[in-house]
Amino acid sequence: MKISTQKLKLGFTLLEVIIAVFIFSMIAYGIIFLMSNILTSASGQTTILADTDQARKLAFRIASELRNATYGSDGGYPLNTAGDQQVVFYSNADTSDTNPERIRYFVQNGKLYEGITKWDGAAYDLAKEQTNAVQNNLGNGATPLFYYYDETYTGSSTQASLPQPVSILQVRHVKLNLQIFNVAGATRTQTYTITSSATMRNLKTNLGN
């Protein structure tokens, strides 16, 4: 039996080590990339749900305030301004105060703001209006935020709203159309829409219906 005198080579060569490290690095990078995408997607979905929930609550609140609009403490008509980007009316938003507040919702710099002016016992001093942003990432742009309908409104989504400028004496129903940017997306081109509406009870003429 012939025994080779050639020494056995033990371990790895430098090239083999480099290749092994490279393969391991690619596998590790792939796992990290996959986990990052999963976490980013989950975070994005959570953000969308949170934003949607906030917008729905806001739309419901505005509709409720409009539904309960009433005459101001100074005798002001329940609806003061009916613009497509701004609505002004009187309502009891603050239930601890028996006097209606002058409530203004308006669009400015891609946000929806709420302005509250309280009755001071003699007048609604607009210089004391307290404003705060109630909805960020508003995507309406030039698209109307508020739509107004008269007493012929049937609830149909295809029924034309009153054209601007709207006469406040014609308005019986107000529709809110919030378009919100999907900030969880890669771009700010995708929006989702929250719609709410209310019939102003104190302006209804067909009380039997």
CA distance 6 to 10: 12
Would you state the pLDDT for residue 207? 43
Taking CA atoms, 138 is separated from 55, 100, 108, 112, 185, in Å, by: 10, 28, 9, 7, 15
Would you state the pLDDT for residue 65? 95
Number of H helices and E strands in the chain, helices first, is 1, 8
Would you state the pLDDT for residue 66? 96
Output the six-digit token pair for 157. Answer: 């989504």
Residue reference for tokens 């019986």: 172
CA distance 142 to 140: 6
How far from each other are the two terminal CA atoms of the chain, in whole angstroms? 111
Please classify residue 90 by burial: count the beta carbons closer than 10 Å to its beta carbon, then call 0-12 exposed, 13-18 middle and 19+ buried.
buried
Would you state the pLDDT for residue 169? 95
Taking CA atoms, 164 is separated from 69, 110, 167, 169, 196, in Å, by: 21, 21, 8, 13, 20
Give the contacts of 171 (CB within 8 A, at least 6 positions apart): 79, 82, 148, 149, 150, 162, 200, 203
What is the enclosing helix (H) or strand (E) of 113? strand 111-117
What are the 10-residue block averages of pLDDT along the chain, 209 residues in total? 52 76 82 69 54 85 95 96 97 83 95 95 96 91 94 89 96 94 64 91 64
CA distance 50 to 43: 11
Domain ranges, ordered by start, for the chain: 41-203
CA distance 93 to 64: 9
